[in-house]
């Protein structure tokens, strides 16, 4: 039996719950949404593994659960710059833009290039996705293959402008400082310095229990755990 986006939607619908959908709406998701828990999406991911075209088709449905699943099964190496740009343009909330799109971009060929383009966007959701992608890139790529000089310049950009940015961009920038300090040991001290200079970052988290982490304290915790510089095999979860 051929698996299609429509057959996946039919599979997803009975797995959803209104209570979980309500939680996701509080985080920015909008209808159509079934409210399928990530644990259920992961089961489907294990079965399908990777499917480039199916991922594109699922994302295009506009259904939140399907869009999230699309990121989990995407064949990142096959994603083109056009694909990624179309996805980020449609990424209307953090769960899609700062997770799904960022993960797929970072694990593919064009993550760094697209992220640098996106962070300069005047559109809040695109810029936030760009910073989130950078956070994922530095978590995955060996330090010797990173452009350390450019990352330092990005830190300076955060220091200069974070408090003047839209809500989600402030959050993503703060997470970038944390990610850089945690995963790139040559820049841990620089990230800590930036964290101290920017101080408290205020983000409206809406009707959620989310808290904005203090960059300096978060990096200190990573150091205390002995995890500084430990790269990840994947950023998808």
Angle subtended by helix axes 215-224 and 188-198, to nearest 10: 150
Residue 236 above 80 pLDDT?
yes
Q: What confidence category does residue 208 fall into, taking pLDDT thresholds of 50, 70 and 90?
A: very high
Q: Are 150 and 161 in contact (CB under 8 A)?
A: no
Query: What is the per-residue pLDDT for 173?
Result: 98
How far is the CA of 89 from the CAs of 86, 192, 223, 224, in angstroms? Answer: 5, 32, 36, 39
- State the average pLDDT for the chain: 97
Residue 203 above 80 pLDDT?
yes
Residues 162-186: tens digit of each pLDDT:
999 999 999 999 999 999 999 999 9
Query: What is the per-residue pLDDT for 83?
Result: 98
Residue 103 three-state SS: helix
Query: What is the per-residue pLDDT for 145?
Result: 97
Give Cβ neighbours of residue 230 (< 8 Å, ≥ 6 apart).
183
Residues 12-55: tens digit of each pLDDT:
999 999 999 999 999 999 999 999 999 999 999 999 999 999 99
DSSP assignment of 157-193 equals HHHHHGGGS-HHHHHHHHHHHHHHHHH-GGGHHHHHH
DSSP assignment of 41-94 equals HHHHHHHH---HHHHHHHHHT--HHHHHHHHHH--GGG--HHHHHHHHHH--SH
Residue 1 above 90 pLDDT?
no
How far is the CA of 75 from the CAs of 41, 50, 83, 103, 200, in angstroms? Answer: 16, 5, 12, 11, 38
């Amino acid at each position: 039996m051929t698996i299609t986006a429509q057959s996946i939607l039919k599979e997803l619908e009975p797995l959803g719950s209104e209570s979980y959908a309500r939680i996701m709406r509080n985080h920015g998701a909008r209808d159509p949404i079934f409210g399928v828990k990530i644990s259920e999406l992961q089961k489907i991911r294990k079965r399908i593994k990777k499917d480039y075209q199916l991922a594109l088709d699922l994302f295009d449905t506009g259904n939140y659960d399907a869009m999230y699943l699309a990121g989990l099964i995407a064949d990142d190496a096959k994603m083109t710059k056009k694909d990624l740009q179309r996805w980020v343009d449609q990424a209307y909330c953090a769960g899609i833009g700062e997770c799904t799109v960022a993960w797929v971009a970072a694990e593919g060929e064009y993550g760094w290039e697209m992220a640098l383009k996106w962070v300069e966007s005047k559109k809040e959701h695109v810029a936030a996705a760009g910073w989130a992608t950078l956070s994922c890139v530095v978590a995955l790529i060996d330090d010797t293959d990173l452009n350390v000089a450019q990352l330092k310049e990005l830190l300076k950009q955060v220091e200069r402008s974070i408090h003047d940015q839209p809500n989600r961009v402030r959050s993503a920038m703060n997470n970038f400082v944390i990610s850089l300090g945690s995963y790139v040991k040559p820049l841990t001290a620089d990230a800590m310095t930036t964290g101290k200079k920017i101080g408290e970052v205020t983000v409206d988290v809406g009707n959620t229990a989310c808290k904005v982490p203090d960059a300096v304290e978060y990096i200190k915790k990573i150091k205390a755990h002995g995890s500084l510089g430990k790269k990840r095999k994947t950023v998808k979860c």
